[in-house]
Amino acid sequence: MLLLDEQLAAAWRDGPDRGGAAAWHDAARALDGDRRAVEAAAFAALAVLLDGGAPPPLPAISGARTPELQLLVRAIRLWSLVRAYRFGEAASVLGRLEAALADATGAEASPRLVAAQSYADLALADAAAVGDDRATARRRWRAVAARTGAPVAARIAAHLRLAVCIGNPDDLRQSEAHLGHMLALADGSGRADDAAVALLYAALAALLRGDRARARARFERIRTRPASPRLDRMACLVFAGVADPDDAMPELADGLRAAVESGDVVGYLSCVVVGAHRYVALGRRADALVTLGAAVISLRRVAPELADVVDGERQQLRADWGEAAYQDAARAALALLDADRAREVAAP
């Protein structure tokens, strides 16, 4: 249990890691009935929220006894409701969180209370942003980004939100500055996934400014750093979607192979759709139809609803090209498949 106490202390100090929710969920279950189970459950929910993944269910967290844990749980409840677009329920929680945060502001600022205040500010800022109150959102994000003693995970989240919440292209330089701060915090604390996210957004900002060389350099930095396969494939997809088609296809081939090897169905779907459109950009319509057709057949066995998505892409090409051109491409696609089969038969 001493190790768990150390892990909880580190989570309060630095924040949970991206992708660390499963470990905290396991800890909360193992601690059932222990006062620390509430903290573990809170950090499990917080890890999901900071990672920006699918909205978690409203955390069933009860038994928070200390002021800082009570404030953290209120923040998680609001954040979860906002992420799940349950705005009616979020409104009442928001008022209670604002009141609790105001009460905590006048209290003696222990490190754990500073952490809880930071997450409360992030939750309230995200709620304001969803409500299109960007001034309030930015004010709270800036407060967290600059707060002495705030967990590095909270400061990273604040800088990321300030970077992406831009009002016009003139804000791109400021956005890149926030991403630079985020990258420095992530590198300084050994958070490889956060560093990859910072580089990914920095590459996109460079693309928006028309600086393709700078964008490519940042994509390459992602590929040479340790990061989760999901983020690596995300970088591959973004690069393939904006690069010259000839440069994009090898990236997509790597991403497709990694998705198949890891069983990442959504990653496979994404590579297929982006790859088909890259083939179209190269004027290789038959290859695009072969790619989509093979994906439909593969996905029908494991994810029929995703197969429908791919088939929808194929039907959209039919509408875009016109029936005559589509049939020409379909015949060329069949010829490609026949040629491949002939080569397989002739191979020793």
pLDDT digits (tens, 9 = 90+) for 313-333: 899 999 999 999 999 999 999
CB 43 within 8 A of CB 14: no
Question: What pLDDT, on a 0 to 100 scale, did the predictor assign at position 101?
Answer: 87
Q: Residue count of the chain, please give it.
A: 348
Count of other CB atoms within 10 angstroms of residue 4: 15
Question: What pLDDT, on a 0 to 100 scale, did the predictor assign at position 262?
Answer: 60
Question: What pLDDT, on a 0 to 100 scale, did the predictor assign at position 179?
Answer: 92
pLDDT, the chain, mean: 82
Helix locations, the chain, DSSP H? 2-14, 21-30, 36-51, 67-83, 87-105, 111-130, 134-146, 152-164, 172-188, 192-208, 212-223, 229-242, 245-262, 265-281, 285-302, 304-321, 323-346
Question: What pLDDT, on a 0 to 100 scale, did the predictor assign at position 59?
Answer: 53
Question: What pLDDT, on a 0 to 100 scale, did the predictor assign at position 39?
Answer: 84
How far is residue 322's CA from residue 299's CA, in Å, rounded to a whole number?
26
Question: What pLDDT, on a 0 to 100 scale, did the predictor assign at position 2?
Answer: 52
- In the chain, the percentage of residues whose pLDDT exceeds 70 is 82
How far is residue 59's CA from residue 62's CA, in Å, rounded to a whole number?
9
- Residue whose tokens read 């991206």: 18
Domain boundaries, the chain: 12-159, 166-227, 233-348
Burial class (CB in 10 A: 0-12, 13-18, 19+), 301: exposed
Long-range contacts from 135-144, C-beta under 8 angstroms, 24+ separation: 137/161, 137/165, 138/162, 138/165, 141/165, 144/118
How far is residue 194's CA from residue 225's CA, in Å, rounded to a whole number?
11
Select, from the ranges 225-229, 242-246, 281-285, 342-346, the one with the highest average predicted confidence (pLDDT): 281-285
How far is residue 120's CA from residue 75's CA, in Å, rounded to a whole number?
5
- On the question of pLDDT at 161 being above 80, the answer is yes
* Tens-digit pLDDT profile for residues 79-105: 988 888 888 888 888 988 888 888 877
Question: What pLDDT, on a 0 to 100 scale, did the predictor assign at position 233?
Answer: 65
Of 44, 19, 52, the C-alpha closest to 193 is: 19
43 CB-near residues (< 8 Å, 6+ apart): 8, 11, 16, 20, 24
* Tens-digit pLDDT profile for residues 172-220: 788 889 999 999 999 999 998 888 888 888 887 887 777 878 877 887 7
